[in-house]
Amino acid sequence: MTPTNIFALVPAGARACYAATNAGLWHWTDKRGAWQQLAPQFAPVALTAVAATGSTVLIGANGDIAVSRDGAKTFGLATLPIKAQVLALALSPNFERDSIALAATAQDGVLRSTDGGATFHAWNFGLLDLHVNALVISPEFAEDATVFAATDNAVF
């Protein structure tokens, strides 16, 4: 199945990117000049989020987050506190050291992982709207611990 909708893009090294689509995970590089489908087991899944750094790739969908530590060759499912509808994923700029990953969800606020995406827990202190559409982590996160969460009503 060829994707007709791209829900998220993220850089994947120099002149390359991953795309979360209605037809699974896709990868583009300038060297090939074409899109290549990755992780065929996710081809029938509408992936709504993707985040990557180094060889780590996280993908999100309605109810699950999957994690790869080998450049999207193999994936394992993360442990979530609930089957959340994942709308966005973000990784700490210091992910290689702190292993922090965040997930924005449609009804359950923000989920946080401190083990590289293996397990997630609710992380909503001070968040007044649990429909989180997008997340941005400060480039200085290690020093300022700042995360912006965009909801339908405000940015927290």
Q: What pLDDT digit, counting tens, does each position of 16-26 carry?
A: 999 999 999 99
pLDDT tens, residue by residue, 103-151: 999 999 999 999 999 999 999 988 899 999 999 999 999 999 999 999 9
What confidence score (pLDDT) does residue 13 get?
83
Burial class (CB in 10 A: 0-12, 13-18, 19+), 9: middle
- Closest by Cα among 19, 13, 48 to 35: 19
Q: Mean pLDDT throughout 92-111?
A: 97
State the Cα–Cα distance between residues 8 and 126, nearest whole angstrom.
27
Average pLDDT of span 49-69:
96
Statement: residue 14 has pLDDT above 90: no
Q: Using the 8-state DSSP alphabet, how is residue 141 labeled?
A: H
Name residues whose C-beta falls within 8 Å of residue 58's C-beta, 6 or more positions apart in sequence.
49, 50, 51, 52, 65, 66, 67, 68, 78, 89, 91, 101, 117
Strand order in 110-113's β-sheet? 86-91, 101-105, 110-113, 121-122
- Identify the residue with better confidence: 100 or 33: 100
Q: What is the pLDDT of residue 1?
A: 67
